[in-house]
Amino acid sequence: MSEPTSIQALARPEVLAMSAYVSARSGAGSDGVLLNANEAPGSLLQDERWAALDLHRYPPPQPAELRARLADIFQVPGEQVLITRGSDEGIDLLLRVFCRPGQDQVLETIPCFGMYRIATQVQGAGIVQVKRDPVTLAVRPQAVLAAIRETENLKLVFLTSPNNPTGDVLPAGLLDEVLEATRGRALVVMDEAYIEFCREASASAKLAEHEHLVVLRTLSKAWSAAGLRCGAVLAAPAVIELLGRIMAPYPLTAPAIAAALAVTTPEARERQRQMLRDLRREKERLVSELAGVGWVQDLWPGEANFVLIRVEDGPRLVRHCADRGVRIRDFHGQPLLDNCVRLTVGSSDDMAALRTALDDFQP
């Protein structure tokens, strides 16, 4: 066997030793008379829209047209794109490829997205949780860099920009320092689920120089398509090849592929620009209103499509709104987030309903 590359050397030995399952659709062509996948010869659905989907066929595992489309909107070469069932699948694949149960470690900066920890626990890896600043909730660069230096068998460093639920973007220069500190040791995963809402540039421009950088993008938030379950891992081809080895043979359904192509057309992108403008306007109004409310003790506007606030009794505010049909997210009890509540910015009607609920809250 040839010497593993530097990225391969970080993978679990079991994954390095295996080869991917070769499915009927990945191994052979998909034209001609298809008698190699035990499919039915035709769909039971006669309606034109269903018929166009060829539901009786297994879908292409990584459809070329969608891959090219995502490469275009995320501004990377196609070879750096792995289409996934949402970012959640990307996170899970990274854990399963790179982290040995009982030995390897993952680093995250809490509070952050809960799925990094869940995927780590499922895999049986260890988690190093570097606390953010208790007042600003911003990442503490020196604490992160120190933890990277001190952690043995560190394999994945999760960074999120803008972060959920705090909304802040990563301090300038920190990604470069983390990439430097992890070179040859660990992968750095930049989760950019909310990047379209802010003016920051994607870290994907750094992929060519840094083989150990991974960027997660999703259609769930700024592309208005959470129901699709479609995202992308952007990474060096060596990383994508490893993730592909353990991925389900047909991760994307035919309706999801068709819908992902539809929500990324130029016309849909024009509507997206309008939606982002509308959400920015609704958010500015919400933030200025909350800033004038006496019972809002802390306010983190952030750069994404939500705001985080702290009140005297967070769970009571969440119940109060729920009683009026408005659901907001309770973070009480999570580290550094006592009595914190996250409010997603919605349509102007949604915001009017929220305003009505907040107006008659008695703290």
Ligand X SMILES: *Cc1c(COP(=O)(O)O)cnc(C)c1O
Residues within the interface to ligand X (CB under 6 A) = 86-88, 113, 160, 164, 191, 193, 218, 220-221, 226, 231
CB of 164 to ligand X, least distance (A): 4
Q: Quick one: tokens of 227? A: 């129901």
Determine the 3-state secondary structure of 230 from DSSP: coil
Strands 231-235 and 298-300: unpaired
Spatial distance between the Cα atoms of 125 and 248, rounded to a whole number of angstroms: 22
CB of 359 to ligand X, least distance (A): 28
Spatial distance between the Cα atoms of 238 and 266, rounded to a whole number of angstroms: 31
CB of 115 to ligand X, least distance (A): 7
CB of 86 to ligand X, least distance (A): 3
- In terms of CB distance, is 151 or 160 closer to ligand X? 160
- In terms of CB distance, is 221 or 310 closer to ligand X? 221
Spatial distance between the Cα atoms of 154 and 105, rounded to a whole number of angstroms: 5
- In terms of CB distance, is 113 or 331 closer to ligand X? 113
Determine the 3-state secondary structure of 287 from DSSP: helix
Asked whether the beta carbons of 140 and 148 are under 8 A apart, the reply is no
Spatial distance between the Cα atoms of 219 and 229, rounded to a whole number of angstroms: 8
- In terms of CB distance, is 189 or 240 closer to ligand X? 189
Verify cis geometry, omega within 30 degrees of 0, for the bond prior to 251: no
- In terms of CB distance, is 25 or 197 closer to ligand X? 197
- How many CA atoms are closer than 13 Å to the CA of 130, on its beta-carbon side? 22
Closest residue to ligand X in the complex (CB): 86
Strands 340-344 and 306-310: antiparallel
Strands (E) in the chain, as ranges, are: 81-84, 105-110, 126-131, 154-160, 187-191, 213-218, 231-235, 298-300, 306-310, 329-330, 340-344
CB of 274 to ligand X, least distance (A): 22
CB of 45 to ligand X, least distance (A): 28
- In terms of CB distance, is 302 or 314 closer to ligand X? 302
